[in-house]
Amino acid sequence: MAHERIKSKAGLALVARVRAICARYPEVGERIDAFGLTSFRVRDKPFVFMGERDGVPSMSFRLLHETQDFLTSHSDRFSRAAYIGQHGWTDMKPEYPIDWEEVESFIDEAYRRTAPKTLLKQL
């Protein structure tokens, strides 16, 4: 599954919205990796990945295994991420409309799962 750097208008708008949500949390950085994926990180540990293929943007979150199991078994909108799904990474399928309240809760869970306790105390 090859990704490309996010360039589409829809993809850039999606990144901007996710960036604004992630900016609410302490010590979040953003990086584009060798695969072209945009990642949001806390102390260099990723908690959100975003990519694009054929102009269609996608998002993955590092969720608790219980959340991942629930989402993937109760909705076609989610799947375990290839290669890293065993670590809780969950893909939100791009062909469905985005529920931004849901995305905010996934980002919150992913950040809290990834961030060190010292940063969690600041929340």
Q: Which residue range forms the structural domain that includes residue 27?
A: 9-120
Residue 3 domain flag:
no
Q: What are the φ/ψ torsions at residue 85 (nearest 5 degrees)?
A: -60, -30
Residue 31's contacts (CB-CB under 8 Å, 6 or more residues apart) are 38, 39, 41
Q: Distance between CA atoms of 123 and 105, rounded to whole angstroms?
A: 14
Angle CA(72)–CA(78)–CA(84) in degrees, nearest 5? 85
> What is the tens place of the pLDDT at every residue in 70-103?
999 999 999 999 899 999 999 998 888 899 999 9
Residue 88 lies in a domain: yes
| Three-state SS at 67 | helix
**In this structure, is residue 90 part of a structural domain?**
yes
> Phi and psi dihedrals of 79, rounded to 5?
-150, 160
Q: What is the pTM of this model?
A: 0.92
